[in-house]
Amino acid sequence: MTALVDRAGRSYPLQVPRWCGDDGSPLLVEPLPGITRDDVDTTVRSQWRYAAALPAPAARPVTLGEGLTPLLPLDLDGVALLVKPEWGNPTGSFKDRGTTVMVSTLCGQGVGEILEDSSGNGGSSVAAYAAAAGIRATILAPQSTSAAKIQQSRMHGAAVELVPGSRQDTADAAVRRSASTFYASHNWHPFFLQGTKLLAYEIWEDLGFVAPDAVVLPCGAGSLVLGLHLGFGELLASGAIRRRPRLLVAQPRNCSPLVAAFAAGAETVAPGEWVPTVAEGTAIARPVRDREVLAAIRLSGGDATAVAEADIGPATFELAARGLYAEPTSAIVVPAAREFLLRGALRPGETAVLVLTGSALKAADAVGRLLAER
């Protein structure tokens, strides 16, 4: 029977609410066999069409219609690429893919109150799905978080508490509070990754049940990297695809611990002196699943790059000029893709998908600053 496992290999039952192992390490669901195109329920108009790929599909999913976002062509300096704008999800970001599965699991386990920490998108997503499930939610967010994201969480009925200091300070505060309220962290909870992995299945279906050659994506804590790693790995195991796509990861240079560790050949991130970035959704100084993220990039034959702060604003405007209103956190994939093309990590003629993780409507303050500085 499928179980949760920690880094030491200890097993825990799926039915018991748990967000970390007894040793304090993050949990993963044991490897699953994956599905084929015959297992996709095409009558379901959400990512729950891939429910057969989940370890224990909820009898009554807490869903708001997430997934089925478009796949659009994008010409980048004459190179034909594809872009996946994830703001078509209910709360405006890819986080809904993980939250729907996590909250459905917690609801089925009888959890009635949860705590989440977030720089914005994760918190507003958890607030929305908690409201849909009838679960009380408290969201801890950095004091610097965009007002639009905080407002959305409060409108869904969540209690929002702003924490002075960095994004890491907020995460640390949440872990301390987890002793009294169940910690439904999108960075820690294993079922969140079970939701983000469904993006891999959706891209596979978008492309006519074929894997892309590469996916370019922004990364903070790495839940999307790990989700794609899990999803494409399962498709490989089921025989639905023949090779893993390369995971090409971008972080802002102002806060790029995973890129630094990848370049150094390290298995974990090292402490660093990082500074604020307009790409606030990726500003995670100590990703809790660092070793898993780094291993996933390497296993895929992927690469990682740090985007200069001066390149983020122009990339945001470049996408907006094409009608794509991406938050700066998402826009870093554009200069990253250019760098990967220069390196040869991405090659013209390949099928490559750039993931735009969230809408600029969620980052009105940051976009306002970019406009003022232009």
Q: Does residue 46 carry a pLDDT above 70?
A: yes
pLDDT of residue 1: 65
pLDDT of residue 206: 98
Weakest-pLDDT range from 14-18, 299-303, 345-349:
14-18
Tokens read off for 304: 């990682």
Distance CA 75, CA 87 (A): 20
pLDDT of residue 118: 83
pLDDT of residue 142: 86
Region 146-169: mean pLDDT is: 87
Residue 228's nearest CA partner among 259, 194, 257, 185 is 194
Region 58-84: mean pLDDT is: 95
Residue 224's nearest CA partner among 268, 287, 280, 272 is 287
Burial track 52-61 (b if 16+ CB lie within 10 A, e otherwise) = ebbbebbeeb
Please list the residues that pair with 217 across neighbouring strands: 249
Q: Check if the beta carbon of residue 286 is closer than 8 Å to that of residue 257.
A: yes
Q: Check if the beta carbon of residue 111 is closer than 8 Å to that of residue 324.
A: no
Instruction: Walk across the sheet containing 182-183 and list its strands.
Output: 159-163, 136-142, 113-117, 182-183
58: confidence class by pLDDT, cuts 50, 70, 90: low
Residue 298's nearest CA partner among 263, 339, 270 is 263
Share of the chain above pLDDT 70, in %: 99
Neighbours of 106 (CB within 10 A): 25
Q: Check if the beta carbon of residue 299 is closer than 8 Å to that of residue 236.
A: no
pLDDT of residue 193: 98
At 96-129, the pLDDT tens digits run 999 999 999 999 999 999 999 987 788 999 999 9
Tokens read off for 342: 């220069």
pLDDT of residue 240: 98
Strand-strand pairing, 182-183 and 159-163: unpaired
Q: Which domains does the chain have, with CATH numbers?
A: 72-92+193-373 (3.40.50.1100), 95-191 (3.40.50.1100)
At 121-153, the pLDDT tens digits run 889 999 999 999 999 999 998 888 777 778 899
